Structure 1
Amino acid sequence: MNYPAAPTAPTAPTAPTAPPTEPGHDMLHDRATTSAGRAKAIAAITLGNGLEFFDFTIYSFFATIIGKLYFPVEGELAQLMLAVGSFGVGFIMRPVGGIVLGAYADRAGRKAAMSATLWMMTLGSAMIAFAPTYAAIGVAAPLLVIAARLVQGFALGGEIGASTSLLLEYGSDRTRGFYGSWQFVSQGLNTVCGSLLGVALAAWLSPQALESWGWRVPFVIGMAMGPVGIYIRRHLDETLPLPPAGVAQTDLAAMKQPVREIFNGHSAAVVCGVLTTIGGTAANYIVLFYLSTYAIRILHLPMALALWAAWTAAAVTVVCSPFAGALSDRVGRKRVMWISRVLLILAVYPAFMAINATPTVPVLLAVVAGLAVLVAFTAVPNIVMLPELFPRAIRATGMSIVYCIGVSIFGGFAQFFATWLIQLSGNTLAPAWYLIGCSLVSLLPLPFMRETAGRAID
């Protein structure tokens, strides 16, 4: 592609050759590309996003206790299925939150939407933290927990599109992968903190105290940290400037009705984005969250030791994610996704065989660490590529819809499906087949998707 040589134009120093389509963005980008601006943007978005994911995911670490207290059915596997099923319920509202809050982010700005999601996440955490148990109020107890998960799912559905779009819009054509990788870093950091807190509580408290009140502590902490995230985000620069008076009417229509524009003009991107998200989200939720629960219920390891699996997986993804994003900037998103997903397909079944053959903590942590490396290189280019599929006026909405549809079923209910497959087949290796199937499906749309690394998206 040939570009006009601006320096040879005699009027270039005094006037642009065409009116800018996004006034104010160049000035914003100049501020954001300073060292202080980059550090401020990444730290603020990552911390706020991490706080929100912390509120949502700590539920997974205490699923066995919550299942016992709120879903008192016969059999440990049945209790676990109901507990992880209620974890998945939160994902049902993600597409709805993605549509409503994503559209709000494309109209009112990324910052406004991210503040609203944090307030809702704080509310959901408070509902769980102070929910009476089944023994106290009967069937109203699990209903209250499910309602809290729905509120949190709605909030997180809008968070992912707004925060990821903001990260990418702070970057340039050559650094979007690196900037976007911090979305996954923030998710890993929340898992590191949540699992460490779970390990500490399991080690310091007796089983009776942990079941009585100790499991509520992380939810109280998450509730209290919500206003901190809101304060931090208040000082970010907005990357969605107001449209100028001369903006095209088609662009204004997209801004006013982003959902209609996405499904009318970008339906192929939606389908491809959802399919490719299936592999990344299944890998994320099986390796980062389910394997610790699997170690407790299937391998019969103590909770205080099994939670180190979640910590190890999260710590590895935190370290590897920026490298995965930078590599996708250098060699392309699609190439990194192809290689990492094929390697994951080949590795996951032997990994489950290893931890079942030798159910010890060192083997579990070694297997989890190896899988987590592949998860980082699988998930990061995926999550970066999704908002790149849509123009700025509908980016947060498009990213939210695509990601939340893929995650709501195959990620949110990954733990439920994995446990159900074990119960159905009697085979403790069944979760590996689930992950292999999702990874194979996610490879199908890649040949039909354009490479976005190093290319202008606006």
Structure 2
Amino acid sequence: MSSTARPSYEPASPAPLTKLATAGGLGNFLEWFDFAAYGFFAASIGRVFFPSDDPTTSLLSSLAVFGVAFVVRPLGGITVGAIGDRLGRRAALSLTVLLMGVATTLMALLPGYDAIGVAAPILLVLLRCTQGLAAGGEWAGAASFLVEYAPRQHRGLWGSILTSTAAMGAVVGCFVAVILDSVLTVEQLDSWGWRVPFLLATPLVGAGLYVRLRLEDTPAFRALQQEHKLARSPLREAFARHKKSMTLVFFCSAVHGVCFYYLATYVINFLTSAQIGMNRTQALVGTAIGLSIYTVLCPLAGIVSDRIGRRPSMLVGSAAMAVLAIPAFILIAQGSLWTTIVGMTMLAVFEALVNVTTLVLLIEMFPTSTRMSGGSTGYNLALAAIAGPAPLIAAAVAANVDLVGSAAFYMVAVAAIGFVVLLIWLPETVGNPLLTDDDTADTAGTAADSAVPERKLTERAN
């Protein structure tokens, strides 16, 4: 193809970006509101679906189901990713919000163990798997749509819309939990109160589906359609040509995913556990404030990532998590509102940096034809294998290791390993044009040649 026929991948005007931010953010908010709500009400859900004389056993069973949803995320990433690469980003995003909404509504209406016996936890697992399938395609789909439209110099800032709305979903879920905890007894929460957040999410499904169906697909994907360059098997091509990129996305996603699920899911259960014994309402308020600070930090992290680069952002964020995780949890373990906020903020600063950077790398390291399949597979494999089990592992470690801050051991290990891998192999991608179907070589290289891809990719795209 001649250079004169080469399509432009920059947005034609700022108007689509506003629509895109709304559509991507709304669906993303719904997804993470649901996941956060499950985490905040894990104790009640455990008692309803896994009754036991030991509260810790019920809680661990409930958190295990939380992790089950992550087991099927790779399948969701593969399936929805292929849809996004073959039929378009809009089709993929519409499917994910529909699946998530239906599963969330049905969960709110699901009878407990006392009503239908063992069928209750089985159905709960199936619904969580459905949510996992939807979530598996949501993040990479929304990221592809948003970043493919965003101006080259502001991809980090625009990507932060997704990380911010994810945190906002958790914050709103937390405040809903605060309200319910303050007006309902434990018996009422176990009976019906835990269902309220899932019912509140139902109207957002229609709104999210409506907005997404009205969007036009990205210029990059439409150009690929016009040139008849759609991949016949996007995932196979991603594995054949971009294994290094998928591996690097895996490690980036593992680092950010573990920290995020500690903040959004585990902290509240840690604070209210027998070891700490904080009042649940106070724990929810502290968690909500910490997540609110994280929400505000995400756009700032996006700006930093655009300014200093993806590689420094990932390395600084990963190293800081490895160093600060235990001190942060020592503060959180003090059981006061202010030490909880300080401890969460210590983690939130660097989680915001890592999360936003991971999201943009998810897009910048793959060409248009395999972007959703390659990016979502690396991302979801990390969340399934490493991040999803984090709340369960953290709870188990804290329950069995009598050391202050022991709950953070898992985060430290993941962040440290991720730092070493990224230090050796992560290239710089900031400022580069998005890869096209003509860029077939794997972009992942060593630190020494990280400047070379930028020059070569710029030449290819012009």
Global fold match (TM > 0.5):
yes
Q: Report the alpha carbon displacement of residue 176 of structure 1 after superposing the two structures with TM.
A: 1.1
Matches of 2:186 and 2:63 in 1, distance apart?
Answer: 21
Q: Tell me the residue number matched to 2:305.
A: 328
Unaligned runs of 5+ in 2: 436-462
Partner of 1:457: 434
Query: C-alpha displacement at 1:269, in angstroms?
Result: 1.2
Structure 1 letter corresponding to 2:377: I
Q: Would you say the 8 A contact 1:280–1:378 is kept in 2?
A: yes
In structure 2, the partner of 1:153 is: 132
Per-residue Cα deviation, 1:13-52 (whole angstroms, up to 9, x for no partner) = xxx96243447x55xx113xx2x43333212211222122
C-alpha spacing 1:243/1:396, structure 2 compared with 1 (3 Å): same
Q: Verify: 1:338 aligned to 2:319, yes or no.
A: no
Residues 301-332 of structure 1, C-alpha deviations (whole Å, 9 max, x = no match): 12211112331232112111111111111110
Partner in structure 1 of residue 209 of structure 2: 230
> What's the counterpart of residue 222 of structure 2?
241
1:363 pairs with 2:348: no
| Equivalence for 2:395 | 419
Matched, 1:120 2:99: yes
Residues 1:133 and 2:109 aligned together: no
Matched AA of 1:311: A
Say yes or no: does 1:165 pair with 2:144. yes
| Cα deviation, residue 168, structure 1 | 0.6
Which consecutive unaligned segments of at least 5 residues does structure 1 have? 1-15
CA contact 1:170–1:179 (8 Å) conserved in 2:
no
The answer to whether the 8 Å contact 2:311/2:428 transfers is: yes
Q: Answer yes or no: is 1:198 the counterpart of 2:180.
A: no
CA contact (8 A) 1:291 1:309 kept: no
1:53 Cα deviation from its structure 2 partner: 2.2
Tell whether the 8 Å contact from 2:224 to 2:368 is kept in structure 1 after alignment: no
**Residue 440 (str. 1) matches residue 395 (str. 2):** no
- What CA distance in whole angstroms lies between the structure 2 residues aligned with 1:83 and 1:196? 21
Deviation at 1:426, TM superposition (A): 3.8
Match in the other structure for 2:364: 388
Q: Give runs of aligned pairs for residues 2-17 of structure 1, distance below 5 A.
A: none
Give the Cα–Cα distance (whole angstroms) in 2 for the partners of residues 425 and 369 of structure 1.
25
Residues 1:283 and 2:259 are matched in the alignment: yes
* Cα separation, partners in 2 of 1:47 and 1:427, compared to 1, 3 Å: same
* TM-score, normalised by the number of residues in structure 2: 0.89
Structure 2 residue 87 is the aligned partner of structure 1 residue 108: yes
Q: Are the equivalent residues in 2 in contact too, given 1:53–1:190 (CA < 8 A)?
A: yes
Per-residue deviation, residues 243-279 of structure 1 (Å, max 9, x unmatched): 46655xxx44xx2210100111111111122122211
The one-letter amino acid of 2:193's match is: G
Please state how far the C-alpha of 1:438 moved relative to its aligned partner. Answer: 0.6
Aligned mates of 2:72, 2:320 — CA distance in 1 = 32
**CA-atom RMSD, angstroms?**
1.8
Displacement of 1:74: 3.3
Maintained 8 Å contact 1:317/1:372? yes
Following the alignment from structure 2 to structure 1, what is the Cα–Cα distance between the partners of residues 224 and 327? Answer: 54
- Distance between the aligned counterparts of 2:210 and 2:94, measured in 1? 9
Q: Per-residue displacement from partner, 1:188-210 (whole Å, max 9, x unpaired)? A: 11011110111111112222222
Match of 2:3 in 1: 18
Report the Cα distance in structure 1 between the residues aligned to 2:354 and 2:253, rounded to whole angstroms.
10
Instruction: Give per-residue Cα distances to partners, 1:423-448, cap 9 Å, x unaligned.
Output: 33344522211110010111122231
What letter matches 2:60 in structure 1? Answer: M
Cα pair 1:333 1:453 within 8 Å, conserved: yes
- Residues 52 and 226, structure 1, Cα contact 8 Å, conserved in 2: no
The residue type equivalent to 1:322 in the other structure is: P
Whole-angstrom CA distance in 2 between matches of 1:323 and 1:300: 34
4+ runs deviating over 3 angstroms: 19-23, 242-247
What one-letter code is carried by the residue in structure 2 that aligns with 1:432? A
Task: Report the residue type matching 2:5 in the other structure.
Answer: P
Q: Aligned pair 1:46/2:25, yes or no? A: yes
**Larger Rg over CA atoms:** 1
Q: Contact (CA 8 Å) 1:277, 1:382: kept in 2 or not?
A: yes
How many residue pairs match? The answer is: 431
Kindly tell me: are residues 180 and 246 of structure 1, through their superposed partners in 2, closer, same or farther at Cα, counting changes over 3 Å? closer
For the residues of structure 1 that align with 2:52 and 2:95, how far apart are their CA atoms? 37
Cα distance between partner residues in 1 of 2:325 and 2:428: 27
User: Which residue is 1:30 aligned to?
Assistant: 12
CA distance in 2, matches of 1:242, 1:362: 52
**128-137 vs 233-242, which moves further:** 233-242
2:271 to 271, 295, 298: 295
User: Structure 2: how far apart are the matches of 1:137 and 1:404?
Assistant: 33
- Counterpart check, 1:375 vs 2:348: no
Contact 1:55 1:122 in 2 (8 A): no
1:428 to 1:126, Cα distance in 2 relative to 1, 3 A: farther
Give the secondary-structure state (helix, strand or coil) at the position aligned to 2:152: coil
Amino acid paired to 1:241: R
Q: 1-side partners of 2:260 and 2:365: how far apart?
A: 22
Q: What residue is the counterpart of 1:352 in the other structure?
A: 329
TM-score by length of 1: 0.90
Q: Give distance in 2, aligned partners of 1:207 and 1:190.
A: 24
Q: Tell me, in whole angstroms, the C-alpha distance in 2 between the residues paired with 1:412 and 1:359.
A: 25
Does structure 2 retain, via aligned residues, the 8 Å contact 1:344–1:374?
A: yes
Task: Output the CA distance in 1 between the equivalents of 2:337 and 2:287.
Answer: 12
